[in-house]
Amino acid sequence: MHTPVYLDNHATTPVDPRVLEAMLPCFSGVFGNPSSRVHEFGWRAAEAVETARAQVARLIGAAPDEIIFTSGATESNNLAIKGVYEAAAKHGNHIITCATEHTAVLDVCRSLEKRGALVTILPVDSGGLLDPGRVADAITDHTVLISVMTANNEIGVIQPIEDIARVAAYKDIPFHTDAAQACGKAPFNVRMAGIHLVSFTAHKLYGPKGVGALCIRRRPPRVRLAAQIHGGGQERGWRSGTLNVPGIVGFGKACELMLDEMPAESLRLRVMRDRLLTLLRESIDGVDVNGALEPRLPHNLNVSFERVEGESLIMRLRDVAVSSGSACASASVSPSHVLHALGLTPERAHSSLRIGLGRFNTNPEIDYAAGRIIEEVKRLREISPTS
| Span between the terminal Cα atoms of the chain, in Å | 34
Confirm if 296 and 156 have CB atoms less than 8 A apart: yes
Q: Does residue 98 have an active-site annotation?
A: no
Confirm if 374 and 316 have CB atoms less than 8 A apart: no
Cis peptide before 25 (omega within 30 of 0): no
Q: Rounded to an integer, what distance in angstroms lies between the CA atom of residue 376 and that of residue 369? A: 11
DSSP one-letter string for 308-363: --HHHHHHH-TTEE-EESEEEETTEEEE-HHHHHTT--HHHHHTEEEEE--TT--H
Q: Which one from 26, 109, 215, 328 is the annotated catalytic residue?
A: 328
Q: Which CA distances in Å does 15 have to 19, 140, 206, 264, 290?
A: 7, 44, 4, 19, 29
Q: Rounded to an integer, what distance in angstroms lies between the CA atom of residue 360 and that of residue 341? A: 32
Q: Rounded to an integer, what distance in angstroms lies between the CA atom of residue 280 and that of residue 220? A: 48
Q: Rounded to an integer, what distance in angstroms lies between the CA atom of residue 216 and that of residue 262? A: 24
Question: Residues with catalytic annotation?
Answer: 328
